[in-house]
Amino acid sequence: MTEVPKGFDRTLLLRDGRRVRVRPLTPQDAPELGEAIRNADPETLRRRFCGSAPRVTPRLLERLTVLDYERRFALVAHSLEGPGVAIARYEATGRRVAEIAIAVAPRWRRVGLASALLYMLGLAALERGFERFTAVYSADNRPVAELLDYARGRKVLGEGVAEAEVRLRDVPAAPPVPAPAPTAGPERRFSFFQRNP
Protein backbone atom coordinates (compact mmCIF):
# COMPACT_ATOMS: atom_id res chain seq x y z
CA MET A 1 0.00 0.00 0.00
CA THR A 2 1.23 3.46 -0.79
CA GLU A 3 0.77 6.49 1.42
CA VAL A 4 -2.80 7.72 1.88
CA PRO A 5 -3.21 10.66 -0.53
CA LYS A 6 -3.73 14.16 0.77
CA GLY A 7 -6.29 16.57 -0.62
CA PHE A 8 -9.33 14.30 -0.37
CA ASP A 9 -10.30 15.01 3.24
CA ARG A 10 -13.18 17.44 3.17
CA THR A 11 -16.60 18.21 4.57
CA LEU A 12 -19.42 18.41 2.04
CA LEU A 13 -22.68 20.29 2.45
CA LEU A 14 -25.46 18.24 0.89
CA ARG A 15 -28.63 19.55 -0.74
CA ASP A 16 -30.76 18.86 2.33
CA GLY A 17 -28.41 20.82 4.63
CA ARG A 18 -26.68 17.82 6.19
CA ARG A 19 -22.90 17.56 6.13
CA VAL A 20 -20.61 14.60 5.64
CA ARG A 21 -16.88 14.12 6.08
CA VAL A 22 -15.15 12.45 3.13
CA ARG A 23 -11.68 10.92 3.18
CA PRO A 24 -9.75 8.07 1.55
CA LEU A 25 -10.65 4.60 2.78
CA THR A 26 -7.92 2.90 4.84
CA PRO A 27 -7.42 -0.57 6.38
CA GLN A 28 -8.61 0.87 9.72
CA ASP A 29 -12.08 1.08 8.13
CA ALA A 30 -12.28 -2.70 7.67
CA PRO A 31 -14.34 -3.50 10.82
CA GLU A 32 -16.92 -0.80 10.09
CA LEU A 33 -17.11 -1.79 6.42
CA GLY A 34 -17.67 -5.41 7.39
CA GLU A 35 -20.51 -4.41 9.72
CA ALA A 36 -22.02 -2.20 7.01
CA ILE A 37 -22.07 -5.09 4.53
CA ARG A 38 -23.48 -7.52 7.10
CA ASN A 39 -26.21 -5.10 8.21
CA ALA A 40 -27.13 -3.45 4.91
CA ASP A 41 -30.72 -3.71 3.80
CA PRO A 42 -31.37 -6.38 1.15
CA GLU A 43 -32.23 -3.82 -1.54
CA THR A 44 -28.91 -1.98 -1.09
CA LEU A 45 -27.02 -5.27 -1.26
CA ARG A 46 -28.90 -6.40 -4.36
CA ARG A 47 -28.25 -3.07 -6.09
CA ARG A 48 -24.59 -2.92 -5.12
CA PHE A 49 -23.67 -6.53 -5.87
CA CYS A 50 -26.32 -7.34 -8.54
CA GLY A 51 -27.47 -10.09 -6.20
CA SER A 52 -26.58 -11.13 -2.69
CA ALA A 53 -23.58 -9.73 -0.86
CA PRO A 54 -20.33 -11.65 -0.68
CA ARG A 55 -19.48 -13.46 2.54
CA VAL A 56 -17.63 -11.03 4.81
CA THR A 57 -14.23 -12.54 5.57
CA PRO A 58 -10.91 -11.03 6.68
CA ARG A 59 -9.61 -11.68 3.17
CA LEU A 60 -12.51 -9.78 1.56
CA LEU A 61 -12.08 -6.84 3.94
CA GLU A 62 -8.36 -6.74 3.23
CA ARG A 63 -9.09 -6.75 -0.49
CA LEU A 64 -11.57 -3.88 -0.10
CA THR A 65 -9.49 -1.69 2.21
CA VAL A 66 -5.81 -2.23 1.36
CA LEU A 67 -5.40 0.10 -1.60
CA ASP A 68 -2.54 1.48 -3.64
CA TYR A 69 -4.45 4.77 -4.30
CA GLU A 70 -3.34 4.60 -7.92
CA ARG A 71 -5.02 1.64 -9.62
CA ARG A 72 -7.32 0.98 -6.66
CA PHE A 73 -8.79 4.03 -4.93
CA ALA A 74 -11.72 4.44 -2.52
CA LEU A 75 -13.41 7.19 -0.55
CA VAL A 76 -15.63 6.87 2.50
CA ALA A 77 -18.21 9.40 3.73
CA HIS A 78 -19.19 9.66 7.38
CA SER A 79 -22.01 11.61 8.96
CA LEU A 80 -20.87 14.23 11.47
CA GLU A 81 -22.25 11.92 14.16
CA GLY A 82 -19.66 9.34 13.12
CA PRO A 83 -21.11 6.38 11.23
CA GLY A 84 -20.18 5.70 7.63
CA VAL A 85 -22.94 6.50 5.16
CA ALA A 86 -21.34 5.93 1.73
CA ILE A 87 -18.39 4.43 -0.04
CA ALA A 88 -17.13 4.99 -3.58
CA ARG A 89 -14.31 3.21 -5.32
CA TYR A 90 -12.61 2.63 -8.61
CA GLU A 91 -10.44 -0.25 -9.68
CA ALA A 92 -8.36 -0.36 -12.85
CA THR A 93 -9.55 -2.82 -15.47
CA GLY A 94 -7.12 -1.63 -18.11
CA ARG A 95 -4.30 0.85 -18.57
CA ARG A 96 -6.56 3.91 -18.67
CA VAL A 97 -9.92 2.41 -17.70
CA ALA A 98 -11.36 1.84 -14.23
CA GLU A 99 -14.58 0.30 -13.00
CA ILE A 100 -16.46 2.29 -10.39
CA ALA A 101 -18.86 1.30 -7.62
CA ILE A 102 -20.77 3.52 -5.21
CA ALA A 103 -22.97 2.50 -2.28
CA VAL A 104 -24.97 5.03 -0.26
CA ALA A 105 -27.07 4.28 2.83
CA PRO A 106 -30.80 4.69 2.13
CA ARG A 107 -31.29 7.79 4.33
CA TRP A 108 -28.43 9.56 2.49
CA ARG A 109 -29.66 9.14 -1.07
CA ARG A 110 -31.04 11.83 -3.38
CA VAL A 111 -29.11 14.65 -1.70
CA GLY A 112 -26.07 14.88 -4.00
CA LEU A 113 -23.73 12.58 -2.07
CA ALA A 114 -23.23 9.95 -4.80
CA SER A 115 -22.68 12.72 -7.34
CA ALA A 116 -20.08 14.40 -5.14
CA LEU A 117 -18.24 11.12 -4.54
CA LEU A 118 -18.30 10.37 -8.26
CA TYR A 119 -16.85 13.81 -8.94
CA MET A 120 -14.04 13.27 -6.42
CA LEU A 121 -13.28 9.82 -7.86
CA GLY A 122 -13.17 11.38 -11.32
CA LEU A 123 -10.60 13.94 -10.24
CA ALA A 124 -8.49 11.28 -8.54
CA ALA A 125 -8.65 9.10 -11.66
CA LEU A 126 -7.69 11.97 -13.99
CA GLU A 127 -4.70 12.79 -11.81
CA ARG A 128 -3.62 9.16 -12.09
CA GLY A 129 -3.90 8.97 -15.87
CA PHE A 130 -7.31 7.31 -16.32
CA GLU A 131 -9.54 8.33 -19.22
CA ARG A 132 -12.74 6.32 -18.72
CA PHE A 133 -14.95 4.94 -16.00
CA THR A 134 -17.09 1.87 -16.52
CA ALA A 135 -19.84 0.50 -14.31
CA VAL A 136 -21.87 -2.69 -14.21
CA TYR A 137 -25.11 -2.44 -12.25
CA SER A 138 -28.58 -3.89 -11.86
CA ALA A 139 -30.70 -2.53 -14.72
CA ASP A 140 -33.51 -1.61 -12.31
CA ASN A 141 -31.18 0.45 -10.09
CA ARG A 142 -32.81 3.77 -10.94
CA PRO A 143 -30.55 5.99 -8.78
CA VAL A 144 -27.41 4.65 -10.48
CA ALA A 145 -29.02 4.84 -13.93
CA GLU A 146 -30.03 8.46 -13.28
CA LEU A 147 -26.59 9.33 -11.96
CA LEU A 148 -24.92 7.85 -15.03
CA ASP A 149 -27.45 9.56 -17.31
CA TYR A 150 -26.67 12.79 -15.49
CA ALA A 151 -22.98 12.19 -16.13
CA ARG A 152 -23.78 11.34 -19.77
CA GLY A 153 -22.78 7.72 -19.43
CA ARG A 154 -23.40 5.32 -22.31
CA LYS A 155 -25.58 2.37 -21.27
CA VAL A 156 -25.82 -1.11 -22.74
CA LEU A 157 -28.71 -3.11 -21.32
CA GLY A 158 -28.64 -6.88 -21.04
CA GLU A 159 -30.38 -9.57 -18.99
CA GLY A 160 -31.23 -7.46 -15.94
CA VAL A 161 -27.75 -5.92 -15.97
CA ALA A 162 -26.63 -2.61 -17.40
CA GLU A 163 -23.18 -1.39 -18.31
CA ALA A 164 -22.13 2.23 -18.63
CA GLU A 165 -19.04 4.01 -19.80
CA VAL A 166 -18.12 7.63 -19.09
CA ARG A 167 -15.22 9.50 -20.62
CA LEU A 168 -13.47 11.60 -18.00
CA ARG A 169 -12.56 14.59 -20.20
CA ASP A 170 -15.20 15.12 -22.87
CA VAL A 171 -17.82 17.26 -21.11
CA PRO A 172 -17.80 20.54 -19.13
CA ALA A 173 -16.66 20.71 -15.53
CA ALA A 174 -19.05 21.20 -12.64
CA PRO A 175 -19.21 21.76 -8.90
CA PRO A 176 -19.01 18.61 -6.76
CA VAL A 177 -22.54 18.94 -5.35
CA PRO A 178 -25.14 20.56 -7.61
CA ALA A 179 -27.00 23.44 -6.03
CA PRO A 180 -30.68 22.70 -5.47
CA ALA A 181 -32.92 24.12 -8.16
CA PRO A 182 -36.68 23.79 -8.17
CA THR A 183 -36.73 23.34 -11.95
CA ALA A 184 -33.87 20.85 -12.12
CA GLY A 185 -34.67 18.20 -14.69
CA PRO A 186 -33.07 16.23 -17.48
CA GLU A 187 -32.02 19.42 -19.29
CA ARG A 188 -29.94 20.57 -16.31
CA ARG A 189 -26.93 18.37 -17.04
CA PHE A 190 -23.32 18.67 -16.19
CA SER A 191 -20.50 16.25 -15.70
CA PHE A 192 -18.37 15.50 -12.70
CA PHE A 193 -15.34 14.50 -14.68
CA GLN A 194 -13.31 17.26 -16.25
CA ARG A 195 -10.89 19.32 -14.21
CA ASN A 196 -11.32 23.07 -14.05
CA PRO A 197 -8.83 24.80 -16.39
Residue 163 maps to a domain? yes
Does residue 70 have a pLDDT over 50? yes
12-45 tens-digit pLDDT = 999 999 999 999 999 999 999 999 888 877 776 6
Give me the CATH number covering residue 141. 3.40.630.30
83-126 tens-digit pLDDT = 899 999 999 999 899 999 888 998 998 899 998 998 899 999 99
Does residue 154 have a pLDDT over 90? no
Distance separating alpha carbons of residues 124 and 7, to the nearest angstrom: 10
> Which residue, 137, 136, 139, 168, is CA-closest to 152?
168
pTM for the full predicted model: 0.80
Domain count, the chain: 1
Residue 131 maps to a domain? yes
Residue 176 maps to a domain? no
Residue 145 maps to a domain? yes
On the CB side of 40, CA atoms within 13 Å amount to: 28
Residue 59 maps to a domain? yes
Neighbours of 49 (CB within 10 A): 16
Domain that holds residue 100: 10-167
Residue 197 maps to a domain? no
Burial 135-146 (b: 16+ CB within 10 A, else e): bebbbebeebbe
95-107 tens-digit pLDDT = 899 999 888 998 9
Residue 106 maps to a domain? yes
Residue 179 maps to a domain? no
Does residue 183 have a pLDDT over 60? no
131: left (phi over 0), alpha (psi -120 to 50) or beta: alpha
On the CB side of 100, CA atoms within 13 Å amount to: 30
Average pLDDT over residues 146-160: 70
- In degrees rounded to 5, what are phi and psi of residue 174? -155, 165
Average pLDDT over residues 145-159: 70
